[in-house]
């Protein structure tokens, strides 16, 4: 009792000097060494004084340094502060975990070297891999949509011009008439209104676009980007409502994967973490919501394997392996809560191996689907490296991979030898689905033509609705934007009729991009579906091509920099740097680390 009181008194009295220590540390930390020696110690001191002290101190820091408007500071640290504090209490200031933390949260360190880990496989790859041969049967179609970010509080007429990371809501601190009233179907400064998502579902199911898909793939991120406000109640309802919307709106099976859909954003503690903030509620919602599509067995896996499952598409020889990538995500602040490296958090790499081995044994092909693409800078290098070992071992079984998260229409190529990235070493292809949310370009989805024998991809077509079109706010129309086969096929060379758009094809396309500026600029426009185009030449182009040639994050050429997110919310009229091909490390992530890196960049500018 006495010591608790003493601690309280100490906490209270420590606060003013602690606050100034932290403010000074923010002003003086300039690199990785000073992150360890100057910035982390006072933050750890605050964390040891308890979550409440930590949250209130960091909220004051955020407000004093004007990292965001006051309510956003308060909301973000109220939500993510306890997780940061939990991890700050757990790692030693000079260890590898601390370096990872300094990279992820402040952009002050580069990611440390990959911690060697050899993924165990039950069997060696067969000496003679099974041949999957196309017989020229008619292909079938599959729809892929992603990052819907539906804002159930979107308010028609509310201001689309605001000081938060998403607008079009009646925020309490907004007074006066709207300078840019939100239209019924969406705005580039706001997440998707439900009517926009309904419009997309009708376009997919309605048949007017001339296709009838066999099934759909949804690669995650359901709820809106109000990361400083969202609570478990709102997020739960968002997940449930979207499952119902997809079930009612689409007449086909949907194979979903989990995005960052937890509260606080991205928070998925590993099973080695002792906490009351368990995201099991997310798995329970999805277990029930996805069951109509993936059956009772798939639904049980969702609950058992932290949101992951694998199911064979009925009537096919294709296994869908859906992986929850959040445990490999740098912005999941729970993963920094130990100095001991955990090679395979929650056993998801082992789950992948088990499923891929089963597919190989049965002569099946597999599609891997998930939220965060394995080569992105925001995937921890360690797990990305392990993931790549799995892809290399089962490359003959994996026909293609499908991810979302970046909001961009893009791709990643995997190689058997990353020191020698050639077409003949290219051996797996990651298709990245563009977002529905209009915050990063025109709302879009993809449609694949799939070889009925090999399950490889014959064409990837992108469909959009154009938010700048005068009819968009009354009757959004969806249209074919481009076909990769038609547009890129002739640039790459002679594609035979049954030849798929495989990893070698996409590698060759990156060679075309290198040599042909017009072709690269066409791709650069298509990233945002012509909706938020950023100039990209020279260094930017070199980096963009390197990123396309990396499905393993240690090879994507990314360099951590404080404040690469600085231009994230560009003001009206400017192109948005966040949509440049080399957008930077946090993808679409908002939240506390964005606030802190923004500050560090501003200070050094
Ligand atoms: C957006 O709002 C700000 C502040 O209220 C105002 O100064 C600015 O003119 C507005 N922009 C537009 C395009 O209406
Ligand atoms: C996931 O990240 C996006 C981008 O920052 C954000 O808009 C969204 O709110 C996040 N999801 C949740 C559940 O917070
Ligand atoms: C965490 O998951 C792994 C892999 O499934 C399992 O081996 C381990 O026992 C689990 N640990 C705890 C504490 O539940
Ligand atoms: C790179 O890989 C190709 C096969 O794609 C091979 O012919 C060549 O010798 C390799 N070069 C090096 C330097 O390893
Ligand atoms: C969208 O519509 C605007 C206005 O009509 C037009 O300028 C723009 O080119 C269109 N974008 C695309 C990708 O079709
Ligand atoms: C370069 O790409 C453009 C755009 O796709 C295409 O029209 C042109 O023919 C290409 N040039 C060459 C030399 O292949």
205-209, 379-383, 585-589, range with the lowest pLDDT = 585-589
CA distances for 287 relative to 293, 368, 561, angstroms? 10, 19, 39
CA of 64 to the centre of ligand 1 (A): 24
Band of pLDDT at residue 599, cut at 50, 70 and 90: low
Dist. CA 129–CA 132, nearest whole Å = 9
| Ligand 4 centroid, distance to 425 Cα (angstroms) | 8
Query: To test ligand 6's pocket by mutation, which of 489, 494, 518, 521 has the most ligand atoms within 8 angstroms of CB?
Result: 518
Q: How many helices (H) and strands (E) does the chain have?
A: 16, 12
Q: Is the pLDDT of residue 570 over 70?
A: no
User: What atom of ligand 2 comes closest to residue 264's alpha carbon?
Assistant: 14
CA dist 76 and 60 (Å) reads 12
Is the CB of 565 inside a 6 Å radius of any atom of ligand 2? no
- Whether the per-residue pLDDT at 600 is higher than 90: the answer is no
| Nearest CA residue ID for atom 2, ligand 6 | 519
422 Cα–ligand 4 center, Å = 8
Q: Per-residue confidence at 579, pLDDT binned at 50, 70, 90?
A: very low
Examine the pLDDT at 184 and tell me if it is beyond 50. Answer: yes
**3-class DSSP state for residue 256?**
strand
Ligand 4 atom closest to 420 (CA)? 1
Measured in angstroms, how far is the CA atom of residue 128 from the centroid of ligand 3?
35
Residue nearest to atom 9 of ligand 6 (CA): 491
Which atom number of ligand 5 is nearest to the Cα of residue 529? 13
Find the radius of gyration of the CA atoms of the chain: 24
Judged against a pLDDT cut of 50, whether residue 568 lies above it is answered with: no
**Which ligand is located closest to the Cα atom of residue 161?**
1
Selection from 602, 547, 537, 543 nearest residue 569 by Cα: 602
If you measure from the C-alpha of residue 528 to the centroid of ligand 1, how many angstroms do you get, rounded to a whole number? Answer: 25
Atom 4 of ligand 6, nearest CA residue:
519
Ligand 2 neighbour 588 (Cβ under 6 A): yes
Q: Which atom of ligand 4 is nearest to the CA of 423?
A: 5
- Asked if residues 372 and 398 have their Cβ atoms less than 8 Å apart, the reply is no
Specify the pLDDT at position 572: 27
CB of 276 within 6 A of ligand 5: the answer is no
554-567, pLDDT tens digit by residue?
A: 999 998 888 533 22
Q: How far is the CA of 278 from the centre of ligand 3 (A)?
A: 15
pLDDT digits (tens, 9 = 90+) for 311-353: 999 999 999 999 999 999 999 999 999 999 999 999 999 999 9
The 10s digit of each residue's pLDDT in 368-422 is 999 999 999 999 999 999 999 999 999 999 999 999 999 999 999 999 999 999 9
Query: Does residue 604 line the site of ligand 4, with CB under 6 A?
Result: no
| pLDDT tens digit sequence for 62-112 | 888 888 888 888 988 988 899 999 999 999 999 999 999 999 999 999 999
Q: Is the pLDDT of residue 450 over 60?
A: yes
Ligand 5 touching residue 469 (CB < 6 A): yes
Tabulate helix, strand, coil % of the chain (nearest 5): 40, 15, 45
Cα(303)–Cα(289) distance, integer angstroms? 12
- State yes or no: pLDDT of 194 exceeds 90: yes
Nearest ligand to the C-alpha of residue 512?
A: 6
DSSP 37: I
Measured CA to CA, the distance from residue 159 to residue 496 in angstroms comes to 52
Separation between Cα atoms, residue 38 and residue 172, nearest integer Å: 38
- Report how far ligand 3's centroid is from the alpha carbon of 346 (Å): 6
The predicted model gives 436-454 an average pLDDT of 97
Burial of 180 (0-12, 13-18, 19+ CB in 10 A): middle
pLDDT for res 33: 97
Sign (positive or negative) of CA dihedral 23, 28, 31, 34 = negative
CA of 176 to the centre of ligand 3 (A): 54
Q: Which of 78, 224, 594 to mutate for ligand 2's pocket (most ligand atoms within 8 Å of CB)? A: 224
Quick check: CB of 425 below 6 Å from ligand 4? yes
Say which residues have a Cβ less than 8 Å from residue 387's Cβ, sequence separation at least 6: 328, 349, 352, 374, 379, 552
Ligand 2 and 435: CB distance under 6 A: no
Q: Report how far residue 67's alpha carbon sits from residue 194's, in angstroms, rounded to the nearest whole number.
A: 31
Alpha helices in 250-310 (DSSP H): 280-304
Q: CA-to-CA distance for 362 and 301, rounded, in angstroms?
A: 20
SS (H, E, C) 363-376: CCEEEEEECCCCCC
Cβ neighbours around 195 below 10 Å, total: 15
Q: Please write the tens of the pLDDT for every residue from 106-137.
A: 999 999 999 999 999 999 999 999 999 999 89
Among the bound ligands, name the one nearest to the CA of residue 476: 5
* Cβ of 419 less than 6 Å from ligand 4: no
d(CA 423, CA 503): 8
Question: Does the structure show a pLDDT above 80 at 569?
Answer: no
pLDDT at 122: 98
Q: How far apart, in whole angstroms, are the C-alpha atoms of residue 444 and residue 529?
A: 8
CA distances in angstroms from 370 to 41, 179, 231, 321, 555, listed in the order given: 36, 39, 24, 8, 20
Identify the band that residue 586 occupies on the pLDDT scale cut at 50, 70 and 90. very low
User: Structure tokens of 319?
Assistant: 């296994």
pLDDT in the model for residue 604:
55
Ligand 5 contact, 466 CB (< 6 A): yes
String of DSSP letters for 390-422:
HHHHTTTTEEEEEE-SS-SSEEEEEES-TTS--
Which residue of 490, 519, 526 sits with most ligand 6 atoms within 8 Å of its CB, as the best mutation to test the pocket? 519
**Ligand 3 atom 2: residue of nearest CA:** 346
- In this model, does residue 38 exceed pLDDT 50? yes
| pLDDT for residue 466 is more than 50 | yes
* Separation of CA 504 and ligand 4 centre (Å): 14
- Over 497-535, what HEC string results? CCCCCCHHHHHHHHHHHHHCHHHHHHHHHHHCCCCCCCC
505-550: pLDDT as tens digits:
999 999 999 999 999 999 999 999 999 999 999 999 999 999 999 9
State in Å: Cα 564 to ligand 1 middle.
Answer: 25
Taking all residues of the chain, what is their mean pLDDT, rounded to a whole number?
A: 90
Give the residue-averaged pLDDT of 346-362. 98
pLDDT grade for 578, boundaries at 50, 70 and 90: very low
Q: pLDDT tens digit string along 471-506?
A: 999 999 999 999 999 999 999 997 988 899 999 999
> Ligand 3 in contact with 272 (CB < 6 A)?
yes
Nearest to 321 by CA among 297, 355, 288: 355
Predicted local distance difference test score (pLDDT) of residue 563: 54
| Percentage of the chain lying above the pLDDT 70 cut | 91
| Residue 118 near ligand 5, beta carbon < 6 Å | no
CB 568 within 8 A of CB 599: no
Distance from the alpha carbon of residue 420 to the mean position of ligand 4, in angstroms: 6
What pLDDT score does 5 carry?
Answer: 45
- How far apart are alpha carbons 228 and 221 in whole angstroms? 16
Does the pLDDT at position 588 exceed 70?
no
C-alpha span between 223 and 118 (Å, rounded): 36
427 CA from centroid of ligand 4 (Å) = 14
Q: Atom 5 of ligand 3 has which residue's CA nearest to it?
A: 347
Instruction: Supply the pLDDT for residue 173.
Output: 77
Q: Lowest mean pLDDT of 7-11, 31-35, 171-175, 332-336, name the range.
A: 7-11
What number is the average pLDDT over the span 46-61? 95
Alpha carbon of 202 to ligand 5 centroid (Å): 22
Does any ligand 4 atom lie closer than 6 A to the CB of residue 424?
yes
- Residue 264, preceding peptide bond in cis (omega within 30° of 0): yes
* Per-residue model confidence as pLDDT tens digits over 218-234: 999 998 877 777 778 88
Ligand 1 centre from 161 Cα, in Å?
A: 6
Full set of structural domains in the chain with CATH: 2-110+560-600 (no CATH), 140-151+191-514 (3.60.21.10), 155-182 (no CATH)
């Amino acid at each position: 009792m006495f010591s608790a009181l003493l601690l309280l008194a100490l906490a209270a009295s420590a606060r003013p000097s602690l606050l100034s220590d932290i403010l000074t540390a923010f002003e003086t930390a300039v690199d990785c060494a000073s992150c360890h020696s100057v910035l982390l110690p006072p933050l750890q001191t605050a964390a040891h004084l308890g979550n409440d002290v930590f949250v209130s101190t960091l909220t004051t820091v955020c407000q004093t340094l004007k990292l965001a408007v006051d309510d956003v500071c308060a909301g973000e640290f109220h939500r993510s502060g306890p997780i940061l504090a939990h991890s700050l209490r757990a790692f030693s200031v000079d260890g590898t975990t601390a370096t990872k933390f300094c990279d992820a949260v402040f952009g002050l360190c580069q990611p440390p070297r990959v911690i060697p880990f050899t993924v165990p496989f039950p069997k060696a790859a067969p000496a003679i891999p099974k041949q999957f041969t196309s017989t020229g049967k008619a292909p079938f179609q599959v729809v892929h949509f992603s990052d819907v970010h539906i804002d159930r509080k979107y308010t028609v007429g509310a201001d689309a011009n605001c000081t938060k990371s998403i607008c079009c809501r009646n925020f309490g601190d907004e007074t006066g008439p709207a300078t840019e009233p939100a239209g019924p179907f969406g705005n580039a400064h706001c997440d998707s209104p439900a009517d926009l998502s309904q419009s997309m579902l009708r376009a997919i199911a309605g048949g007017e676009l001339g296709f009838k898909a066999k099934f759909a793939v949804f690669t995650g991120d359901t709820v809106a980007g109000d990361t400083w406000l969202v609570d478990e109640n709102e997020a739960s309802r968002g997940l449930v409502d979207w499952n119902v919307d997809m079930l009612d709106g689409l007449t086909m099976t949907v194979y979903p994967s989990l995005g960052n859909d937890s509260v606080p954003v991205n928070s998925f503690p590993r099973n080695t973490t002792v906490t009351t903030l368990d995201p099991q509620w997310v798995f329970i919602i999805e277990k029930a919501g996805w069951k109509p599509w993936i059956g009772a067995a798939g639904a049980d896996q969702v609950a058992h394997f932290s949101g992951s499952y694998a199911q064979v598409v009925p009537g096919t020889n294709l296994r869908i392996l859906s992986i929850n990538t959040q445990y490999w995500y740098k912005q999941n602040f729970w993963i920094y809560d130990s100095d001991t490296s955990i090679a395979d958090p929650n056993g998801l790499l082992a789950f992948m191996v088990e499923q891929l081995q089963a597919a190989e044994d049965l002569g099946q092909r597999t599609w891997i689907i998930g939220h965060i693409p394995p080569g992105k800078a925001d995937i921890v290098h360690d797990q990305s490296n392990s993931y790549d070992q799995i892809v290399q071992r089962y490359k003959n079984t994996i026909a293609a991979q499908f991810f979302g998260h970046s909001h961009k229409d893009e791709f990643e190529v995997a190689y058997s030898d990353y020191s020698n990235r050639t077409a003949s070493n290219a051996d797996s292809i990651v298709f990245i689905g563009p977002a529905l949310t209009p915050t990063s370009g025109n709302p879009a989805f993809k449609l694949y033509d799939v070889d009925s024998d090999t399950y490889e991809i014959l064409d990837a077509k992108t469909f959009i609705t154009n938010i700048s079109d005068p009819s968009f706010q009354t009757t959004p129309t969806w249209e074919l934007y481009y076909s990769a086969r038609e547009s890129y096929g002739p640039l790459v060379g002679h594609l035979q009729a049954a030849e798929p758009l495989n990893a070698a094809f996409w590698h060759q396309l990156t060679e075309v991009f290198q040599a042909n500026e017009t072709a690269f600029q066409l791709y650069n426009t298509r990233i945002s579906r012509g909706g938020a185009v950023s100039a990209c030449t020279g260094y930017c182009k070199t980096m963009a091509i390197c990123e396309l040639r990396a499905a393993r994050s240690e090879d994507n050429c990314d360099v951590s920099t404080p404040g690469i997110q600085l231009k994230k919310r560009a003001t009206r009229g400017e192109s948005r740097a966040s949509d440049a091909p080399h957008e930077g490390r946090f993808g679409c992530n908002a939240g506390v680390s964005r606030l802190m890196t923004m500050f560090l960049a501003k200070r050094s500018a």
